[in-house]
Amino acid sequence: MTDSSHPTKAALPPTRRQVLQAAAASALVVPPALRSVVHAAGSDKPEKEDVRIGFIPLTDCASVVMASVLGFDKKYGVKIVLSKEASWPGVRDKLVNGELDMAHVLYGLVYGVHLGVAGPKKDMAVLMTLNRNGQAITLSKDLASKGAVDGPSLARVMAANKREYTFAQTFPTGTHAMWLYYWLASAGIDPLKDSKIITVPPPQMVANMRIGNMDGYCVGEPWNHRAIMDNIGVTAITTQDIWKDHPEKVLGTTADFAAKNPNTCRAVTMAVLEAGRWIDASLQNKLKMADTIADKAYVNTGVDAINQRILGRYQNGMGKTWDDPNHMKFFDDGAVNFPYLSDGMWFLTQQKRWGLLKSHPDYLAVARQINRIDLYKEGAGALKVPVPASPMRASKLLDGVSWDGSNPAKYADGFKIHA
């Protein structure tokens, strides 16, 4: 783009001297145009400029999509090449074989691959957390009509009407499986003994419930609100009511890619951080995001399925409406994005609890291997995004049990219902 008042000057690239002068100057006085040249010309130059990033059609792919759509990627010398994927096993396989450089991916999937659970074993890396909250558990309208509208009432209905109950999650080691199992168990339902658990890709949940393939499912938005709009399901609980401010999707890659391309990883992290900050900045931005990602190229649904719950405007499909302050967040002053070690460790405790891991891993060591806090801090620091003092955080889940990462083996073994 040229400046009409100085067309010739604007078209000329900066000289090497200008670049070096800019590099030596304070960032506060360097013109933005020169600053981006310095970034690309210096030692921070991304090793790989075209970065292929996979995503699944879910509301929480938004920060990765908007980083590309709004051009935040170009600001840091990379081009995000988006790749819409059909299922989480597909994302896993393409990450492992290098078809994808990175992905919008389930936290627990990355940890499972690293330990060789639910697929091939490959050393993995988490660059940042993409979002918190904003998933839900949907029960069929048929179950709701029989009185099953939350955990305790579901347990009563299942006890009174004996049959095989089928619930769906999106990947065996993934977040949705863990939220579903945790919730069922908190109501006294053993997910492995009292029900049949199936795996269904997120965009196929609504269609499968419509034809009666399952009694309930756990998935990300917009596929819970969509079930209400289509009058086939009700929201039994949101995942933020299972664990307030829980981690959800991450920006994942292989350990090899992160080791060979640290500048690329940092550049993409910065672009996605900026996109998350942009989304969370205003109501107008959230609505523009919803309008963008509803498109066929991304989530492929009506914008009305997306734009209510991202604003915290909830309904359960049975007449109840509420404003939820703990709706899906993408940035929240940086609180969302730090890859806490304790978050990663929590998924390991649940994988051990449900028999996916046969023995206790070295929880902290595994989390330190996977979560690239070093790269995250560099990117966040450059953007002046605050980072927490500790890589561990404390939370209390819906059953009143506290988690802080201090004794993961004891925590994992402490549940009454387990594999």
- As given in the structure block, the two tokens for residue 78 are 């990379």
pTM for the full predicted model? 0.90
Q: Cβ atoms within 10 A of the Cβ of 71, count?
A: 13
pLDDT at site 43: 76
pLDDT > 60? residue 4 = no
pLDDT at site 42: 52
Average pLDDT in the 373-402 region?
97
Average pLDDT in the 110-123 region?
95
What integer best gives the mean pLDDT of the chain?
A: 92
β 249-254/102-106 pair status: antiparallel
β 233-238/135-140 pair status: antiparallel
The lowest-confidence range among 16-30, 189-203, 272-286 is 16-30
pLDDT > 90? residue 21 = no
Average pLDDT in the 128-151 region?
98
Split at pLDDT 50, 70, 90, the class of 10 is very low
**φ, ψ (nearest 5 deg) of residue 106:** -65, 130
Contact yes or no for 189/158 (Cβ under 8 A) = yes
CA distance 14 to 217: 56
H or E stretch at 279: helix 262-281
CA distance 415 to 158: 21
pLDDT at site 171: 98
Average pLDDT in the 387-392 region?
97
Helix 262-281 to helix 62-69 angle (10° resolution) is 100
Contact yes or no for 288/74 (Cβ under 8 A) = no
Average pLDDT in the 152-165 region?
98
pLDDT > 60? residue 52 = yes
- As given in the structure block, the two tokens for residue 262 are 């640290």
CA distance 30 to 42: 15
Is pLDDT larger for residue 3 or for residue 196? 196
Give the Cα-Cα-Cα angle 290, 293, 296 (nearest 5 degrees).
Answer: 130
Find the DSSP H helices in 55-212.
62-69, 72-75, 88-97, 107-114, 141-145, 151-160, 175-186, 205-210
pLDDT > 60? residue 32 = no
CA torsion sign for 296, 300, 304, 308 is negative
**φ, ψ (nearest 5 deg) of residue 314:** -110, 150
* CA-to-CA dists, residue 268 to 50, 122, 182, 271, 375, angstroms: 10, 22, 33, 5, 11
Average pLDDT in the 269-298 region?
98
pLDDT at site 119: 86
| pLDDT digit string, tens, across residues 179-216 | 999 999 999 999 999 999 999 999 999 999 999 999 99
Question: At a CB cut-off of 8 Å and minimum separation 6, what does 281 contact?
Answer: none
Q: Which domains does the chain have, with CATH numbers?
A: 26-419 (3.40.190.10)
- As given in the structure block, the two tokens for residue 217 are 């499912």
Is pLDDT larger for residue 344 or for residue 16? 344
pLDDT > 60? residue 7 = no
| pLDDT digit string, tens, across residues 328-384 | 999 999 999 999 999 999 999 999 999 999 999 999 999 999 999 999 999 999 999
| pLDDT digit string, tens, across residues 217-231 | 999 999 999 999 999
pLDDT at site 34: 34
Question: At a CB cut-off of 8 Å and minimum separation 6, what does 406 contact?
Answer: 392
pLDDT at site 11: 39
Split at pLDDT 50, 70, 90, the class of 259 is very high
Q: Cβ atoms within 10 A of the Cβ of 278, count?
A: 20
CA distance 395 to 140: 30
